[in-house]
Copies of this chain bind each other. A is one copy, B any other.
């Protein structure tokens, strides 16, 4: 019998009514002939409340104890979820991460899964139970409770799907799939039928946050087909899979725009081995998350080094850079917080020329100035003035026909 894993996030199980609705989806899948494993997160704002409780007692709580505390949120959801299924007349049993032997390393609050001993799950599935597993948590080899950090429940779901050889891992969210563009900014955006792991990874890292990168990497590694779908209807969502031949005909699968950005530029940085390392070392020590890095040579001795950070990290980045000035020589520090980044992502770029040019031309026609450009194998990003961001995003989406389903678009030459 094929196994289906369903994951419900915190908003999908926030109250009794929502838990009942999610339970209905699990039962429906069972009635379709699947063996069903549900992975659930903590209800609504439970985790935030527990964090507040902890901070009131200890502003800097030991991580092991935080994991002990926070893991109760998911444990509550799964027992309530099992009760809901039983109330609807079906057999269900809930499990903590430890009970289904999700073994992690001992990096509390951001543990990594090392193995899953799914025997108990298989046994209960074979006995006809719908199994409900607490997301986000596991235990280390000494029996300490660990949590998986951000996106942890998605990771649990995909990892269980891999361990059980599930046919599909359904991720229920408050959107009904992955769109070509952000529908709030580009009303013509259309839902994708499918997208590759690599593409969604680029989109995820650019902030189109349907799923956390880590769970997608897990899916890619273990070849788990993931469906992102809505928890409030039964419409088919978007499938995340390995690249398939028909994807090659698609130049750009999606586009994103990010506005909460700042760019720091070290003008006239002395061009010596180790200077860039020193800069990013202090940024790392200051816990600043750096996005893009762009360096260009001015002459044999000097370069301009630019990098972007989230706006909330700007002050920390600035202080770190000023601190390093004694060790690293540069002429001036230039900061822009009125910029945005527009990106286009698609595996088709690999085999087609001219994609970058299409983007630059679209921006030029719209009279949008490009401040900086970075690319990866399947992504092109342009920094533009913040005031131009929405217009730039729209013309780029139009240029790549993101208002049309993939098979309706003009074929690339």
Contacts and interface: CB of A to CB of B under 8 A. Distances in A.
A68 B57 contact: no
A16 interface: yes
B79 A93 contact: no
Interface in A79-101: 79-80, 82-84, 86-87, 92-94, 96, 98-99
Give the oligomeric copy count: 2
A83 B99 contact: no
B65 A79 contact: yes
Among A83, A84, A87, chain B packs the most CB atoms within 10 A around the CB of A83
Contacts of A71: 75
A143 interface: yes
Given A16-B57, A58-B84, A65-B93, 4 more contacts: A58-B87, A65-B92, A69-B79, A75-B75
Interface string A189-230: 000000000000000000000000000000000000000000
Given A86-B61, A99-B143, A54 B80 contact: yes
Contacts of A87: 57-59, 61
A76 B72 contact: yes
Contacts of A303: none
Interface of A: 16, 19-20, 50, 53-54, 56-59, 61-62, 64-66, 68-69, 71-72, 75-76, 78-80, 82-84, 86-87, 92-94, 96, 98-99, 120, 143-145
Nearest to A73: B72
Contact of A93 (B58, B59, B64, B82): B64
A57 B72 contact: no
Nearest to A15: B56
Contact of A20 (B57, B75, B86, B145): B57
A270 B86 CA distance: 47
